Structure 1
Amino acid sequence: MTDVIRRFVSGNKARFKDKHLHLELDLVYVTDQVIVMGYPAIGLEGLYRNRRDDAKKFLEHRHGKNYWVFNFCPVRENSYAPTVFDGRVSRYPFPDHHAPPLAVLPLVAREMRAWLDGSPDRVAVLHCKAGKGRSGTLACSYLLSMDITPHPPRLERSNTTKQWAQVKVEKLMQVMPTDDPSGSQPASPRVSVETLSSAEDLTSPAETVPSTSTVTIHGEEHPNGTIDVAPVSLKHVLDLHTSRRMKSPSSPTKKVKQGVSIPSQRRWLGYWSQLLANQGPHGFWEVDTIKPKPKVRLTEIKVRMKDLGGVRVSLVRAANMVIDRTKYGRSGGSKGNEQGHVWVSLARYDDVLAEELEACERATRHESGNMGKVRTALNEDGERETSRHFFTDSQWDSTKMVRSFARMGVIGNNAVQTEKAGDEFLTKYVLRPLSDERWVTIKEDIPHATNGDSGVVNDAVPSETNSIADVTHPSHERGIVVDAHREIRVKFYMGQVFIAWLWLIPAFHVDLPAMTPGTASTILLTRKDTDFPVGIGSALLDVEISFERCAEEEPEQPPGFSHPHSVTTPAGEAEGYADEPTGIAANVDSIATDVVGGFVETTQATAN
């Protein structure tokens, strides 16, 4: 009975049966040396996830002491002592459904490489909670860094019965004699187990690369906007992971679900692919830390949405009222949000955490500059540099790792515009920075405002004459100054209802060397480039983010903030989460609109 429950929870993910141990686990071999699996759980959670004892029994029976576990779950989500696996555990935690700090990718890839290069008998075991997004992202990070093209498992113990049968068929086809009477063997395409596994998910490189964004500078498009530097290699790795991690579709007409499916995580792999090819942004992760990092000013964000329709507008209004009147709402009675106005929250990882991870990346980078290899030279203490002990304790992941630092909303009478595209109408929201003081004013004062001249009522749908920010002005008129080399999470809301989010690093999308201070550039991302656009997010058409280059001496806005356990005081903590809906509060629309497929996943995601 419990196996039935576990299969249901696994959904579209493939599972592994060991006939000798009579075990079935949410686990697969991506290669002969790389395993990904679901969280090894105990107690009630063990009824629907991998039982911890079963996972350990499986690994020890098959690999003895030649396995090392990589755990990507923060302690606030789930945890266990390293002694569970005899101390062979490394932690690199980051929130579920998110992109990690980019420096985590090389650190994990290098530690995996150092371990696996020690013996062909060794395996690396990667897990998060579901063993899909986070584990898949970091497994692909390692596979991208390999010196040879990774291939599916070739050992019997790494394949299921069906997969091993395919491998044997391939070997048989290679030795079969030709029917050509001349005895010659004409060249023919070789059918491999990899082709058999992934043929149903063949897509063009452009579809596999994580982003289709473009950059415009002075009205001209620049190729730096796309991140398909190594589409064949990246596509190969993503397809390999998908072919191993996901079930084959029940019908030939159905496509295989992607293994790494979250656009921002795929975008991160695109960034990593560029860095490995030495084609990353100029000066990115510069060894010389004295040089100032380039800064850009985020001036505005344009959001275009299709017509929601009367029924969905009513649901959004009802959702905002429910959120506002329950303990889940964190807005403290923000009646103004009932009107369904669009705004965004900007966030990034803790600044000290990001700086220390980047310092660890520089310290462990190979002397040759190869991003995928760990440094071999000893440090001043006569020891080899390692990132293994970075997350030994829970300093960085016992609380929220992602911190909000600014908000943007509609400003002025022309900030909400109506456009016609074919037979349908679109609404475009032009979002600019909001100060904390004005944010409070918006929430408290807008419900009492009247506009007799325009005939607009407080419960109306946002329009050109009815804006949540008509009485506000931006905190920084020219925009928000950010480090171009740092990650930004842009999280979209309508009132208090979650629309979607996306992660990006500006330097990978704008041509900084070609930009002088004041030069503007834009990044255009479609709905497919955003994460979890379910519910009202299905009406999202595209997002256009505008940056301009600014002088390097300009301070970031706000100044750096850090973890409460670190040396400095978290300057951004006061504005961090007080007004940002989370968890079920951000997903009432998903419930109301019966988006069953994405609701559970998005509810978990928006809680971070």
Structure 2
Amino acid sequence: MLDPVRRLVSGRKARYTEDGFDLDLCRLTDRIIIMGYPATGTASLYRNKRSDVIRFLQPYAPRYRIFNLCPLYENSYEASAFVTGGASNEEEAEEKVLGGPVERYPWPDHHPPPLSMVPVMAIGARRWYEKDERNVVVIHCKAGKGRSGTFALSLLLALPGLPPAPALTGDEKAKDANDMKAYGPLDPHAVLAKPGADVQDLSLEDKLEYLLRFHTLRRMSPAAKRYGVSIASQRRWLGYWVRLLKGEDPRDDALYGKKRVVLEYVKVRGPGLHGVGKVVAGGNERIAVQVLRYKDSIAASLRERELALARDPTTPTTFSDWDDRSEMFVHVGTLSQANDTQSSPLLHASTPTHLDPPAAVDGGSTPPSASASTGSLPSAVVKTPASSIADSPDLPPPSQTAATPTSTCANPRPSQTHVLVPRTSFMGPDSTSSTRRTEKEAKATVEQDGGIVLDADRELQLKFLVGKTGDRHGKLPEMAALAITWFIPSFEATAPMVSADHHSKLVISGKDLDFRKPFAGIDQVEVGWRWLS
């Protein structure tokens, strides 16, 4: 009776409807399962009913392990709910520590994880996957899409080769011959437009492109028009993971990085707030940017564990306390429009007055000393002629707005550029910092430092909000923001050997911002920073 409600909530994701089940779940491969949250109580009226999930997993017992990505403040359950008999003595000992066949790697919905969590969770999942060829990895977040897809693709990138699709006989999507054809194993030659010899020796970048599409076709319904991992910042993190796997880690090989940058400005180009956005802003067009990062306790613990795993691969990957009972982010500082800071000394002669496209040098790369583009984002998969890819549906665009015109206005106004400069700096860059400055101290620190001083190796969230400071708007749920984006400075621009007044900038297209609102009027963002010695 409630299945129509569950199908409505699961949206454009594929559902498993075999053997009497109707679950928000898919078999990505024969040994990797992705699903929505296994709920009880009221939540089970519109999400997967936990008893149904346990019944579905019973044939895999005791050879399955669940990887739960939900923070405690979002959803939680006792791991003992999934305890089954028949495990080996070693596995029983592991489950005793875990409380059941469940490992937790929590991070907030709609966001990328702390970067150090990616190798930690990939190693944890790979250990289980490779321990026995019968072992099955079961992944869930809340909806079983973005975070679960990021986790699954992180694991698949770390495993050799390309993944096979599950056997298609009785497949949950294959209802007729056409569906069998559309959702069968992908042909990497067609997807990547490469001859057979090249497919045998794929680069990790090509593999990521293939996996993004593979996950989309397995997890999403036929009508889906976007990647399953639809959030640009999560795809950017997968690009960072590729670099780590290739041994191209720009971070300092230490618990606390030494590289520092001063965030000097954010420039927003586009027609600006209009419609609902302008009404909410009280008739004006002011916007602000809040800078956030993961709590220092979380970032430091994960970085320490990542470094420990590099030294000793047998190091445990899970934590008894993830510090996830409440919000996992902290507010670092705020940028306001230049005219809201009056004659700010931060708006100096070196601050660019317009948005230049990233310049290319030999080989088409971007000079890190001048600017950094969104090169860390996985590129769109090559779209080949229909005749060579007839066995697969059309490729979804890489983000929600990729297939639409750049301007987000129905009747575009002339493009304008808003320059936002630092207003407050509430927290220092060191991972040991725990004292939040007062408003007065935060303003004085910006004046003293010339901006917001940040650890170049730490994750950085920019949240675009309505108002002079965004404080009122920032109290609403995160999805109410005009847009959000995440990046790590040291991954987007190379730190200079000599730091004499060295500046870098990151240019992000509006379509590569997360959850950009149509009324935000943001076509492009430029972030500028200065490197400290």
Q: Normalization by structure 1: what TM-score?
A: 0.64
Of the three residues 251, 265, 270, the one matched with 1:305 is 270
Give yes or no for contact 1:32–1:155 (8 Å, CA) kept in 2: no
Summarize the Cα distance change of 1:192–1:319 in structure 2 as closer, same or farther, 3 Å threshold: closer
Write out aligned runs for 1:93-242 (5 A). Answer: 93-154=106-167, 156=169, 159-160=171-172, 162=174, 193-195=184-186, 230-242=204-216
Tell me how far apart the structure 1 counterparts of residues 213 and 66 of structure 2 sit (CA, whole Å). 23
- Look up the equivalent residue of 1:152 and give its one-letter code: A
Task: Indicate whether 1:536 and 2:519 are aligned.
Answer: yes
Task: Indicate whether 1:52 and 2:50 are aligned.
Answer: yes
**Deviation sequence 1:119-169 (CA, Å, 0-9, x none):** 121111100100001111111100111122222223757x32618978998
How far is 1:194 from its partner? 2.4
Aligned-pair Cα RMSD in Å: 3.5
Of the three residues 241, 247, 257, the one matched with 1:272 is 241
Task: Indicate whether 1:547 and 2:529 are aligned.
Answer: yes
Give yes or no for contact 1:28–1:35 (8 Å, CA) kept in 2: yes
Summarize the Cα distance change of 1:16–1:401 in structure 2 as closer, same or farther, 3 Å threshold: same
Summarize the Cα distance change of 1:196–1:12 in structure 2 as closer, same or farther, 3 Å threshold: farther
- Look up the equivalent residue of 1:406 and give its one-letter code: G
Summarize the Cα distance change of 1:486–1:239 in structure 2 as closer, same or farther, 3 Å threshold: same
SS state of the match for residue 523, structure 2? strand
Bigger radius of gyration among the two: 1
Give yes or no for contact 1:345–1:406 (8 Å, CA) kept in 2: yes
Give yes or no for contact 2:27–2:33 (8 Å, CA) kept in 1: yes
How far is 1:436 from its partner? 7.2
Task: Indicate whether 1:490 and 2:472 are aligned.
Answer: no
Summarize the Cα distance change of 1:418–1:339 in structure 2 as closer, same or farther, 3 Å threshold: farther
Of the three residues 480, 483, 487, the one matched with 1:504 is 487
| Gapped regions of structure 1 (runs ≥ 5) | 170-190, 206-228, 250-254, 322-337, 368-374, 376-383, 442-468, 552-608
- Look up the equivalent residue of 2:185 and give its one-letter code: E
Of the three residues 76, 81, 91, the one matched with 1:79 is 76
**Deviation sequence 1:397-422 (CA, Å, 0-9, x none):** 11110111111112346889999x99
Summarize the Cα distance change of 1:161–1:92 in structure 2 as closer, same or farther, 3 Å threshold: closer
- Look up the equivalent residue of 2:114 and give its one-letter code: P
Residue 419 (structure 2) aligns with: 430
Write out aligned runs for 1:570-585 (5 A). Answer: none
Write out aligned runs for 1:248-263 (5 A). Answer: 248-249=222-223, 256-263=225-232
Of the three residues 337, 341, 347, the one matched with 1:410 is 337
- Look up the equivalent residue of 1:365 and give its one-letter code: A
**Deviation sequence 1:236-286 (CA, Å, 0-9, x none):** 11111111100112xxxxx633110000001000000111112232xx251
Tell me how far apart the structure 1 counterparts of residues 30 and 311 of structure 2 sit (CA, whole Å). 25
Tell me how far apart the structure 1 counterparts of residues 289 and 272 of structure 2 sit (CA, whole Å). 19
Tell me how far apart the structure 1 counterparts of residues 103 and 439 of structure 2 sit (CA, whole Å). 43
Tell me how far apart the structure 2 counterparts of residues 521 and 411 of structure 1 sit (CA, whole Å). 20
Summarize the Cα distance change of 1:166–1:67 in structure 2 as closer, same or farther, 3 Å threshold: farther
Tell me how far apart the structure 1 counterparts of residues 135 and 459 of structure 2 sit (CA, whole Å). 34
Q: Normalization by structure 2: what TM-score?
A: 0.72
Residue 364 (structure 2) aligns with: none
Summarize the Cα distance change of 1:307–1:534 in structure 2 as closer, same or farther, 3 Å threshold: closer
Tell me how far apart the structure 2 counterparts of residues 363 and 168 of structure 1 sit (CA, whole Å). 45
Summarize the Cα distance change of 1:514–1:306 in structure 2 as closer, same or farther, 3 Å threshold: farther
How far is 1:318 from its partner? 3.9
Give yes or no for contact 2:192–2:206 (8 Å, CA) kept in 1: no
Give yes or no for contact 1:515–1:549 (8 Å, CA) kept in 2: no
Task: Indicate whether 1:319 and 2:274 are aligned.
Answer: no
How far is 1:424 from its partner? 4.6
Tell me how far apart the structure 1 counterparts of residues 62 and 169 of structure 2 sit (CA, whole Å). 20
Give yes or no for contact 1:198–1:243 (8 Å, CA) kept in 2: no
Summarize the Cα distance change of 1:535–1:289 in structure 2 as closer, same or farther, 3 Å threshold: closer
How far is 1:352 from its partner? 2.2
Aligned length: 424
How far is 1:193 from its partner? 2.6
Task: Indicate whether 1:245 and 2:219 are aligned.
Answer: yes
Residue 37 (structure 2) aligns with: 39
SS state of the match for residue 355, structure 1? helix
Tell me how far apart the structure 1 counterparts of residues 311 and 25 of structure 2 sit (CA, whole Å). 32
Summarize the Cα distance change of 1:58–1:347 in structure 2 as closer, same or farther, 3 Å threshold: same
Summarize the Cα distance change of 1:289–1:49 in structure 2 as closer, same or farther, 3 Å threshold: closer
Give yes or no for contact 2:496–2:531 (8 Å, CA) kept in 1: no
Task: Indicate whether 1:355 and 2:300 are aligned.
Answer: yes
How far is 1:543 from its partner? 0.6
Give yes or no for contact 2:492–2:506 (8 Å, CA) kept in 1: yes
Give yes or no for contact 1:31–1:152 (8 Å, CA) kept in 2: yes
Summarize the Cα distance change of 1:77–1:235 in structure 2 as closer, same or farther, 3 Å threshold: same
Give yes or no for contact 1:489–1:502 (8 Å, CA) kept in 2: yes
Among all aligned residue pairs of Structure 1 and Structure 2, give the percentage whose two residues are the same amino acid.
35
Residue 14 (structure 1) aligns with: 14
How far is 1:477 from its partner? 5.5
How far is 1:33 from its partner? 1.1
SS state of the match for residue 193, structure 1? coil
Give yes or no for contact 1:341–1:494 (8 Å, CA) kept in 2: yes
**Deviation sequence 1:60-104 (CA, Å, 0-9, x none):** 1x2021110011111111110111111001111111101110111
Tell me how far apart the structure 2 counterparts of residues 135 and 76 of structure 1 sit (CA, whole Å). 18
Tell me how far apart the structure 2 counterparts of residues 197 and 203 of structure 1 sit (CA, whole Å). 6
Tell me how far apart the structure 2 counterparts of residues 198 and 74 of structure 1 sit (CA, whole Å). 39
How far is 1:308 from its partner? 4.2
Tell me how far apart the structure 1 counterparts of residues 46 and 297 of structure 2 sit (CA, whole Å). 37
- Look up the equivalent residue of 2:139 and give its one-letter code: L
SS state of the match for residue 247, structure 1? coil
Tell me how far apart the structure 2 counterparts of residues 347 and 204 of structure 1 sit (CA, whole Å). 40
Residue 518 (structure 1) aligns with: 501
Tell me how far apart the structure 2 counterparts of residues 164 and 65 of structure 1 sit (CA, whole Å). 33
Task: Indicate whether 1:67 and 2:64 are aligned.
Answer: yes
- Look up the equivalent residue of 1:36 and give its one-letter code: I
